[in-house]
Homo-oligomer: A and B are copies of this chain.
Amino acid sequence: MQLLETTFWSAGGSRHGMAEQLGFSKSKTNALIAGLVEQGLLAEAGLQRSSGGRRPENLQLHAGLGVVVGIDIGATSVDVAVLGPDLAVLAHHGEPADVREGPGVVLARVRVLVRELLSRAGFAPRQVIGIGIGVPGPVNFEIGQLVNPPLMPAWDSFSIRDYLREEYAAPVFVDNDVNLMALGELWRLRRSLTNFLVIKVGTGIGCGIVCHGEVYRGAAGSAGDVGHICVDQEGPRCHCGNLGCVEVMAAGPAITRMAVEAAMAGESAALAECLRAQGRIDAIDVGEASRAGDASANAIVQRAGSLIGQMLASIVNFFNPSHVFIGGGITRIGPLFLAAVRQSVYQRSLALSTRHLEIQYTPLGAQAGLIGAGALAMHETLKVRGVAP
């Protein structure tokens, strides 16, 4: 099992590298590999360039191992994908959704989508070996349930796992959406970075933490809940009860609110026109106006970036990550936001913490959550399944 896991994380390692990573002898490794190849779990894939002698074959998980299902539930959207053992997306569908409608409505739709996508990709339900789901709230990872989720109260203590198990024999793993974005990036990086953060800015603000090469979930599973860090003690009241939380001042709804205020106050012709034409303004409209040079939109984007950077500065001083990746809807707002975040962090954090710090948008982009859900499903399935050895 260790060997399959190692293969999954190294994505095509050589026999020799595998033996080294596992600390096994060459002959033991070769015997294990032969067994797994015979069982149809591992495949030899072409030849690796070598400096001479007999060329070691690259190894990869066998496509016949089955598929995993990745589900990324956002506050206002749902994405479902069928992925191969190498996390190639074999079929994908995303659509708007409202988590506040509760697990019954949302998961019924998810179930339909999974069925459709499996059929489209040409797989039967029994070929699903694992299901990974990300949800926008705090999760008790062991039991796979949300715990007091502020954005989706109807989901509290609902067993997503049991619901999906009715249809699939495969194990179901549930995690917070940002943890999965972090896991997705960790897999993409093949663990070449071991201490980094993923910040998701959308309806809320959350943070996925990778520490010592593993996703860190905290003592009670709520690690990374950075949306309620205070950035202004005299700021507006947040739904959590406190004043000046970064979420209430700088997440998607705050950007929208600032834009509507600017439009109504006659401070921005572009935003006013947008409000008139659509009846509403969203964060992407603000980004567009900003890129078109609207001063008011620029000020809003900079204010949001600066507040998020101020929160991040505290976190960077504390955690000293090598990289901060920013994802979620905010990434579509454009480069000015990122520049404002960076400026704020570099100004407020200690020199030693920022000397080699990289702050950028998530390389996996909008797919980070889905790839993470797939990675969770593969990783945990390979850990729990009793496949020899």
Contact = CB atoms under 8 A, between A and B. Distances in A.
A348 interface: yes
Interface stretch (A6-14, A82-90, A217-225): A217-225
B317 A228 contact: yes
A91 interface: no
A320 B225 contact: yes
Interface in A191-229: 195-196, 207, 209, 211-212, 214, 216-226, 228-229
Nearest to A147: B352
Contacts of A230: 310, 313-314, 348
Contacts of A225: 317-318, 320, 350, 352-353
Nearest to A193: B219
Interface string A51-71: 000000000000000000000
A242 B354 CA distance: 15
Given A350-B240, A352-B138, A219 B148 contact: no
Interface in A314-331: 314-315, 317-322
Nearest to A223: B320
B221 A320 contact: yes
A351 interface: yes
Contact of A211 (B212, B242, B321): B212
A195 B212 contact: no
A178 to B, nearest CB: 12
Contacts of A322: 219-220
Contacts of A351: 148
Q: How many identical chains are in the complex? A: 2
A355 interface: yes
A306 to B, nearest CB: 12
Nearest to A138: B352
A356 interface: yes
A320 B219 contact: yes
Most buried by B among A207, A216, A223: A223
Contacts of A357: 219
A220 B353 contact: yes
Contacts of A353: 218, 220, 222, 225
A130 to B, nearest CB: 23
Contacts of A222: 317, 320, 350, 352-353
Most buried by B among A217, A219, A320, A322: A219
Given A219-B357, A228-B350, 14 more contacts: A207-B318, A212-B212, A220-B322, A222-B350, A222-B352, A223-B320, A224-B318, A226-B314, A230-B310, A230-B313, A230-B314, A240-B350, A314-B314, A314-B318
5 contacts: A222-B352, A224-B318, A232-B233, A242-B347, A311-B314
Interface of A: 138, 147-148, 195-196, 207, 209, 211-212, 214, 216-226, 228-230, 232-233, 240, 242, 310-311, 313-315, 317-322, 347-353, 355-357
